[in-house]
Amino acid sequence: MATEEGLCVTSSLTNLGDIAEYVAGRASAAGLDEERTFEVQMAVDEACTNSIQHAYRGHNTGELRVCCFREGDDFVVEITDFGAPFDPQSIPAPDVTGPLEERSIGGLGVYLMRQLMDSVQFRADPQSGNVVVMRKSTRISAT
Amino acid sequence: MQITTTHLKRCSLIRLEGRFDSNTSPDLQQAIRQVLDAGVFRIVLDMQGVEFFGSAAIRVLVMTYKECRRWNRGDVRLCQVPERIVRVLDLAGISPLVQMFPDCTLAVGSF
């Protein structure tokens, strides 16, 4: 059974703090411990940054919706924007093993999202916008 | 978010507090840029008060690392890094490359 609540803000980087606070509250209410709540916060921050910087190209008048709910054992976060379609598959995976001097600087956000969450799915369509759905199990044993 | 820079004999010590996300990381970049522009390439970042360190902040750290180490002229070292931030640096593959110290005295003394 899913209960759903949402936060709707403009696509400004200055709202990232409020989004993080909102998500942290919902995550701990859903039973995530402090560490896992922090990981969800990080992933949400990266996803919202992508929406603002890539989908809205830095324009701060777009709409950004963040919805959190519990589905079975999962804490689910859905982030929706109505900016330009954004294809995360187009972002090359970052190099996280080579010498720092030789590493390129991009791709880290999506990479961290995938590392921090149990699943990350993207979909884009002209009607419902760009949607990122991220899941984190509320069961401690699932890492 | 607060950034406090102290110039010491051996290096500059920059104390970071609060959230470093893509909104606030440009301020971090600017603070570090000022130190680099002053010709100081030995930098210690005191991370004790850091609550959040996202990919934008990690990019600033990587930029700082590259700038400081160019021509072997210095380094950026971290101290008092909270466990959860270490984990983020682990994921980003930064931990094995950047020296971390349990306290500021050791970090500053390492230069």
pLDDT tens digits, A67-116: 999 999 999 999 999 999 877 777 777 888 878 777 766 788 999 999 99
**pLDDT at site B68:** 97
HSE-up (13 A, CA, CB side) for residue A119: 11
Distance between CA atoms of residues A138 and B9, nearest Å:
49
Query: Residue A112 is encoded by which pair of tokens?
Result: 């961290």
Asked if B23 lies within 8 A of A20 by C-beta distance, the reply is no
Is A93 at the interface with chain B, CB within 8 A?
no
**pLDDT at site A24:** 95
Q: Name the residue ranges covered by the structural domains of chain A.
A: 4-137
Residue A100 burial by Cβ neighbours in a 10 Å radius (0-12, 13-18, 19+): middle
Q: Check whether A3 has a pLDDT greater than 70.
A: no
CATH superfamily placement of domain A4-137:
Histidine kinase-like ATPase, C-terminal domain (3.30.565.10)
Which contiguous run of DSSP H or E holds residue A122?
strand A119-125
Q: Name the residue ranges covered by the structural domains of chain B.
A: 2-106
**pLDDT at site A2:** 44
**pLDDT at site A87:** 75
Distance between CA atoms of residues A43 and A67, nearest Å:
14
pLDDT band at A143 (very low <50, low <70, confident <90, very high): very low
Residue of B21, B51, B58, B72 best to disrupt the A interface, most CBs of A under 10 A: B21
**pLDDT at site A92:** 74
Sequential pLDDT tens for chain B (111 residues): 999 999 999 999 999 999 999 999 999 999 999 999 999 999 999 999 999 999 999 999 999 999 999 999 999 999 999 999 999 999 999 999 999 999 999 999 999
Rounded to a whole number, what is the distance in Å from the CA of B36 to chain A's nearest CA? 17
The letter for the amino acid at A30 is: A
Q: Token pair 């101290």 is at which residue?
A: B79
pTM for the complete prediction? 0.91
Could you tell me whether strands A129-137 and A4-10 are parallel, antiparallel, or unpaired per DSSP bridges?
A: unpaired
Would you list which residues of chain B are within 8 Å, Cβ to Cβ, of chain A? 19, 21-23, 52, 54-56, 58-59, 62-63, 65-66, 69, 84, 88, 91-94, 97-98
Rounded to a whole number, what is the distance in Å from the CA of A138 to chain B's nearest CA? 18
Q: Check whether A39 has a pLDDT greater than 70.
A: yes
- Higher local confidence (pLDDT), A103 or A55: A55
Mean pLDDT of A19-40: 95
- In angstroms, the first-to-last Cα distance of chain B is 27
Rounded to a whole number, what is the distance in Å from the CA of A19 to chain B's nearest CA? 12
Q: pLDDT averaged over chain A?
A: 88
Please state whether B18 falls in left (phi above 0), alpha (psi between -120 and 50) or beta.
left
Q: Answer for the pair A13, A79: CB distance below 8 angstroms, yes or no.
A: no
Q: Check whether A141 has a pLDDT greater than 60.
A: no
Q: Choose the CATH number for B2-106 among 3.40.50.1000, 3.40.50.970, 3.30.750.24, 3.40.50.300.
A: 3.30.750.24
Q: B34-50: string of b/e by CB count within 10 Å (b at 16+)? A: ebbeeebbbbbbbbeeb
Q: Check whether A50 has a pLDDT greater than 50.
A: yes
Mean pLDDT of A41-65: 94
